C-alpha cells in the first residue's frame, strides 16, 4: 500500500527566516506529486506539480519554490518567509498519467510570526 508522509507536522517560524517542508511517498513508483496551500479560512490552492524527477511546474506564485530531488520526494522551500505564508500545506500524489484522483498527505501547519 502507498503511504505519504509530510514533515514537519507543524512549524512556527519568524518572518524572513528560511523554510523547508518535505513530502515522501512510499510504495508507488514515479508518481505525479503536488503541493497545496490553504490559508486559515481560505481556499485550498495548488502551488506546484511534478511529473518526474527534476521537473517542477508552478501553478500559483507565492514566493515559494519546489524541487523533486528523488522519485519519491517533494520539497517546498523559501529563503525568506512572509507573514502571508502562514497556513496549511498539503502534499499529494496521483498515479502516472494523472487520470486518477489525488491522494493527500496529513499536512503541515505553518505559523509565521
Partner 1 sequence: GDSVTQTEGPVTVSESESLIINCTYSATSIAYPNLFWYVRYPGEGLQLLLKVITAGQKGSSRGFEATYNKETTSFHLQKASVQESDSAVYYCALGGSNYNVLYFGSGTKLTVEP
List 89, 105, 108, 112, residue binding partner 1 (CB under 8 A): 105
Residue 99 found at the interface with partner 1 (CB under 8 A): yes
Going by the DSSP 8-state scheme, the letter that residue 84 receives in this structure is G
Of 81 and 108, CB closest to partner 1? 108
Of 78 and 93, CB closest to partner 1? 93
Cα–Cα distances in angstroms (integers) from residue 11 to residues 49, 65, 97, in the given order: 23, 18, 33
Q: With H, G, I as helix, E, B as strand and everything else as coil, classify residue 83.
A: helix
Give the whole-angstrom CA distance, residue 101 versus residue 60: 20
Residue 24 found at the interface with partner 1 (CB under 8 A): no
Pick the stretch among 18-26, 69-77, 79-87, 102-110 that binds partner 1 (CB under 8 A). Answer: 102-110
Backbone angles phi, psi at 83, to 5 degrees: -55, -35
Give the whole-angstrom CA distance, residue 52 versus residue 93: 12
Residue 78 found at the interface with partner 1 (CB under 8 A): no
Joined grid coordinates for residue 84: 502571508
Pick the stretch among 15-23, 69-77, 78-86, 95-103 that binds partner 1 (CB under 8 A). Answer: 95-103
The site for partner 1 (CB under 8 A) is made up of 32, 34, 36, 42-46, 49, 51, 57, 59, 90, 94, 97-107
Amino acid at each position: 500500500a502507498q503511504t505519504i508522509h509530510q514533515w514537519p507536522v507543524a512549524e512556527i517560524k519568524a518572518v524572513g527566516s528560511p523554510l523547508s517542508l518535505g513530502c515522501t511517498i512510499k510504495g508507488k513508483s514515479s508518481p505525479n506529486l503536488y503541493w497545496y496551500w490553504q490559508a486559515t479560512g481560505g481556499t485550498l490552492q495548488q502551488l506546484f506539480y511534478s511529473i518526474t524527477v527534476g521537473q517542477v511546474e508552478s501553478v500559483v506564485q507565492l514566493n515559494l519554490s519546489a524541487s523533486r530531488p528523488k522519485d519519491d520526494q517533494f520539497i517546498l522551500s523559501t529563503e525568506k518567509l512572509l507573514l502571508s505564508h502562514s497556513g496549511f500545506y498539503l502534499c499529494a500524489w496521483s498515479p502516472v498519467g494523472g487520470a486518477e484522483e489525488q491522494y493527500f498527505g496529513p499536512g503541515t501547519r505553518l505559523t509565521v510570526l
